[in-house]
Amino acid sequence: MAEEIDDNDFYRENFSADSDWEVFNAQLGEILQKWDVTANGDVGRCLQPEELFRCKWQVESETLDMLSNGIEVEHYQAQLEQEEDSIKEGLKENSCLQRTQCHQDLMSSGNSFGPPIRISSNELHTLSRIYGLRRFIVLHPVKASVNYMKSTAEFNFFLSAAAVVAAEVGSVVPIFVQIYDPKWNFFTGVSLAPALRTNFRLIGLEKAPPECRYLMGLLTLFREKVPASYPQSAKVSVCTTYALDTMRIRMPMYVPFDHGLNSEDIVVAGEVLHVDVQHFSALPHGYTPESCTEIYLVYTWPELSEHVAFDSEQRTDFIPSKAPLGKVYLSVEASSYLSCCLRDYQAVASVTRSLESYVGRNFSGTSSGAEAINPLDKLTEHKLSKRRERSYELPSQAGLTKRLPGPMTESELRELLAYLFPDMHPDMALFPYVKQSFKNKVSAPQRKSLFGYSYLSFHFFLQFDPVRIKSAVPDSLVCRLSCVLATSHAHSGSLEGMAQLWAAFTRHLRLLWDNSLTVPGIASGYPDTRTCLLHQKLQMLNVCVERRVKREANSTRKEQQQQQQQAQVISDDEEEDEGEFFDCDEPHQGSGSPIKAVLSLKPEGRLRRLGDERLLDEPEEYLYIPETQEPVPKTEDQLQDDAEVMLKLGPGSGLTTQMMCSSLLSDMEAFKAANPRSQMEDFIRWYSPKDWEEVKDETGEITHQLSVRMTTEGNTWQTVWQQAQPVPIARQKRLFDDTNEALKVLHYLENRKMHEIYNLTIIPVLHSSILKLIDVFSNAKVDDLFSPQIEQLLADLCRLSRSQSDDLPPIAPLLDDLAELERRFYQFKCFERLSGYPRKSSLEQVKLQFLEILRNENCCTIVNRKLTAAGDGTLYDILIPKLEHDMNERLISKDYIIRLDGDSRSTEKGLYLGPQFMRAIVTGEKLRLCGAFTESTAFV
């Protein structure tokens, strides 16, 4: 019968192949070895009180191919302050062989209870909040919110794998497995030590037995889980949390130039408090009706013996009046209209539509006067025709705000333009420009007379430092325009309203140029590259207007002189006798050259003498400084374009030389005209004295000569000197064409796309927003509280404004910091009301306590019996009566922690029993038990 069986057809199973469990163990072991989870890398100092809630955390993550979607392994480790190596070695030598960092953290009472509110900037992991661990590993499925573990078989699979791998690699770091839905925060884990194993378990009950909601019943439950070999009593830590009424303070919305839009019509319970500002700014302020502050009172008993306190259904010793430590936590949820306005304006950065798509073509209205002139009329124009004189009286402005499509009416738009151009709308000019604000230095009496600000706010308002922030002078036209654009975008028609206002603004600029009037609210002088580009463009337009006015005035004066000379010549001719004539000889060849030579030696365009200096070749003639053309102003983008052109052409290009030496050629020609018998050495003596060097000859006499760079063969200065002709500036071609440059500026502003307008104005908007906050804080007398945050905002804005990249860096972090600062101010106003100001406490007391809130993550101590016997004296007396009548109704949670530790002084293996830990969180009838119970793995 056995001979009939075919071995080839018999089914065989390959038991030598690795199973999924073994493959997972191998992969997990490699990861744990890379993270150094052995006892050698697990030595550290004891934790400071509440250090885990303040420190930063490092999270490393690896993904393993397991199950359908993989398993993610995360390593959490607190970044504590580094201790010295000698101290670290001493801790390693003196510590118990079986006691690990996990055991130390479980027994540490300084990090038992964290704040009752979550801190968004430093979200602490649930396991660290429950057990107080500084280092742990978590295993959970990828996309755990969808594919979470549900069955006991999956729990045991990964937990057993974690225990086996931890034993193989000698890991002493706790390893947890996340089970069930992640929002439930259920974990099971294990931690190994020499001859010890600590099991972490979590249990949740929707309706717990009454005896398990109090300390007495929990101690009974704890003793049932712990071996009877522990001789000492357990240590108990208790924390009770009470919730006071949510505080709401209504700060109504204020939108400038929108008289019908406010939030006072919304009925919301709470005190109404208006935000006071002393300096008008075209930005909204106020807080949304949903803004509120939740107040929690937390009373803590850090460490008690289990036999000291009594807590049951009938009687409890854990009441606020007996607590040794009490704190108040303020959780603020406030949204400011200013931050909302800035975030809405940030969206314009991605809009690439042109301005014409909103307001149509030819929105600039009447064309410029220079563009309206027919070139042929210049040929037939009579020389004695009357030139256009400058008129300071504005023409009719009818139509400047009409025919512009947009959501704003003509009256609304005119009110905004009256704010930007108060001189052009004297009947509506409520906010004229302060001339002192455009000066760099202001005297002490002016500081008090102008605004009456504190020194900090005044320093930022008037003493604008362009070296720091590349913006514009506060309350200048650039800042006003930027703020009005942001406000119009948020409250007056979004992009359409913003485009309508920008088009009306460019119309007014053309009107000013056509009437030779300077743009108001702009710092005088050449374009300052330390300011923003929009400010430089408007400065350039003002320079063009000033040059135009000066040029036309000179032209008018010369025409008047010519008319007088012609009239004098006519009168002289009439008086002369007309009867006597003389014959002229025929002109000889070359007879004109001496005359031209004599005429060419006639000096022209002299300004003044250069001291007592004389010409080198003509010692009898003085050296005269010529009248020269003014320097050519350029904005930042023009300088960058010139640099790119010269970089592409190269240093040997003739066009590069012409671009660099146009001003030099003009000055040389003017110098030759003023000093006909001069030479290049004379020019250098005036133009570049450093290149006229003193030297000693062989006899020791001091002489002068040109420097090496001036005498080098092919020197540009020599080439330009040879090309220069004696031409005074009256007959030179203008280096700076004011008409052309002004039209360039107007064309530049009229052809900006929406995102380009945003880039031109975002820095002034942010700068003005910070200044508005300074104004609000100054009026509330809390500017000293928030001065570090203000300084940090200004420093961040400085780096942002001076970024060298072509694209503007993201401003979201700055907006988040600004919004956080506004939330802090709302929190202060709520805390001010909670403290009973002004009847029960002074402003200095409130500010001192709120400073502790800023430093301690929204927390302020109201009682600390280790330091004082009666607590704070103000908040303590104010808050305790609020809990006397409805204490049980305001109690939202009780937190019990029971600890029991073995003899950690024992250095022999097997004598240390390990820590026992149980935490009970009671919220109403719900109970969550979190246990970490240690058992011995040594065989006796």
| Band (777; pLDDT cuts 50, 70, 90) | very high
| Mean per-residue pLDDT, 355-384 | 58
How far, in Å, CA of 46 to CA of 44, rounded?
7
Is pLDDT of 591 > 80?
no
How far, in Å, CA of 240 to CA of 300, rounded?
7
Is pLDDT of 334 > 70?
yes
Is pLDDT of 871 > 50?
no
How far, in Å, CA of 440 to CA of 419, rounded?
24
Residue 429: HSE in the Cβ half-sphere, 13 Å Cα cutoff: 12
Element (H, E) at 849: helix 843-855
Using DSSP's 3-state secondary structure scheme, residue 80 falls into coil
| Mean per-residue pLDDT, 167-174 | 92
* Cβ neighbours of 740 (radius 10 Å): 11
> What pLDDT score was predicted for residue 912?
73
| Mean per-residue pLDDT, 239-258 | 89
> What pLDDT score was predicted for residue 657?
62
Instruction: Name the percent of the chain lying above pLDDT 70.
Output: 80
The residue type at 35? W
> What pLDDT score was predicted for residue 467?
58
Residue closest to 364 by CA, chosen among 513, 496, 478: 513
Q: What pLDDT, in 10s, does the model give residues 485-500?
A: 999 999 988 999 999 9
Is pLDDT of 105 > 80?
yes
> What pLDDT score was predicted for residue 585?
45
Average pLDDT over the chain reads 81
* Cβ neighbours of 762 (radius 10 Å): 23
| Band (599; pLDDT cuts 50, 70, 90) | very low
Is pLDDT of 143 > 90?
no
Cβ neighbours for 293, distance < 8 A, ≥ 6 positions apart = 246, 247, 248, 330, 331, 332, 333, 334, 826, 827, 830, 831
Q: What are phi and psi of 75, to 5 degrees?
A: -115, 115
Question: Per mean pLDDT, which range of 576-590, 717-731, 789-803, 869-883 is the poorest?
Answer: 576-590
> What pLDDT score was predicted for residue 122?
58
> What pLDDT score was predicted for residue 257?
81
Structure-token pair, residue 586 = 């025929």
| Mean per-residue pLDDT, 713-723 | 83
| Mean per-residue pLDDT, 85-105 | 64
Comparing 932 with 424, which gets the higher pLDDT? 932
Is pLDDT of 610 > 80?
yes
Instruction: Name the percent of the chain lying above pLDDT 90.
Output: 41
Structure-token pair, residue 741 = 């440059």
Question: Per mean pLDDT, which range of 158-172, 196-210, 418-432 is the poorest?
Answer: 418-432
Element (H, E) at 554: helix 533-575
Is pLDDT of 898 > 90?
yes
> What pLDDT score was predicted for residue 342?
96
Residue closest to 240 by CA, chosen among 893, 887, 888: 893
| Mean per-residue pLDDT, 95-118 | 83
> What pLDDT score was predicted for residue 462?
41
Question: Per mean pLDDT, which range of 344-348, 440-444, 913-917 is the poorest?
Answer: 440-444
| Band (242; pLDDT cuts 50, 70, 90) | very high
Cβ neighbours for 919, distance < 8 A, ≥ 6 positions apart = 130, 131, 895, 896, 897, 898, 929, 930, 931
Element (H, E) at 379: helix 375-380
> What pLDDT score was predicted for residue 906?
55
Residue closest to 141 by CA, chosen among 77, 202, 64, 203: 64
> What pLDDT score was predicted for residue 711?
82
Structure-token pair, residue 748 = 């530049």
Question: Per mean pLDDT, which range of 397-406, 618-627, 720-729 is the poorest?
Answer: 397-406
Structure-token pair, residue 767 = 């700068």
Using DSSP's 3-state secondary structure scheme, residue 267 falls into coil
| Mean per-residue pLDDT, 885-898 | 89
Contact 754, 351 (CB under 8 A): yes
| Mean per-residue pLDDT, 251-261 | 77
Comparing 804 with 139, which gets the higher pLDDT? 139
Comparing 305 with 458, which gets the higher pLDDT? 305
* Residue 573 buriedness (CB in 10 A; 0-12 / 13-18 / 19+): exposed
How far, in Å, CA of 317 to CA of 324, rounded?
12
> What pLDDT score was predicted for residue 563?
78
Is pLDDT of 803 > 90?
no
Is pLDDT of 367 > 50?
no
Task: Convert 482-497 to b/e letters by CB count within 10 Å (16 or more is b).
Answer: bbbbbbbbbbbbebbb
**What CA dihedral angle connects 145, 146, 149 and 151, to 10 degrees?**
130
Is pLDDT of 693 > 60?
yes
Is pLDDT of 600 > 70?
no
Strands (E), 306-453: 325-333
| Mean per-residue pLDDT, 811-817 | 94
Q: What pLDDT, in 10s, does the model give residues 644-660?
A: 777 776 665 556 666 66
